[in-house]
Amino acid sequence: MKSKFLRLVAGVAAILLAGGGPARSASREIYPDPGQAKTDLATALRTAAQDHKRVIVDFGGNWCGDCQVLDIYFHNPQNRPILESSYVLVHINIGRMDENLDIAEKYGIPVTLGVPALAVLSDTGKMLYGQRGGEFSHMGRMESAAVTKFLVQWRPPKAGCSVMVVNC
């Protein structure tokens, strides 16, 4: 019970400290208008192809507290450099579980199990990872380190690296 309380306190502290002001408050608009989703995804895929990065597709809504926490964790000092160097992040607004469900279905992401829900695409648009069980839908009870682990696990390999090279 004590560890749950400490994680909750840590989560609230992360929300309060992450941005240092109202621009990073829990009520900010992360997810754009649902009508932008297909255009935003196409733009992210073009950018990823040009920059040889992967795409993180983040399905959620501005009403979702766990989505707010995930975004704060994505942009904290430990994770921001990994995110910016390796990924193009695109937010897909699912409304109140009634928008852009076709995109989630295309990637096999069951948003009905909870959001935020993530997919990772290669720089060519190939699906590399898709959440199947609402893994990040309880971000308020998770630590930033879970996001760090996710980002490190799915980032693209450095140029010249292979499974045979140890220090990549």
Instruction: Extract the tokens encoding 147.
Output: 């996001």
Which CATH class name applies to 2-154?
alpha beta
Give residue limits of the domains in the chain: 2-154
pLDDT value for 161: 60
- Is residue 74 within 8 Å of residue 80, measured between CB atoms? yes
The pTM (predicted TM-score) of the whole model is: 0.81
* Measured CA distances, 120 to 46, 50, 61, 110, 114 (Å): 15, 17, 18, 14, 17
pLDDT value for 44: 98
pLDDT value for 8: 44
| One pLDDT digit (tens) per residue for the chain, 168 residues | 544 444 444 454 444 444 433 334 456 899 999 999 999 999 999 999 999 999 999 999 999 999 999 999 999 999 999 999 999 999 999 999 999 999 999 999 999 999 999 999 999 999 999 999 889 989 999 999 999 999 999 999 876 565 555 555
In the DSSP assignment, the letter for residue 151 is H
Instruction: Extract the tokens encoding 122.
Output: 């290669």
Q: What is the residue-wise DSSP string for 12-55?
A: HHHHHHHHSSGGGSTT---S--GGGHHHHHHHHHHHHHHHT-EE
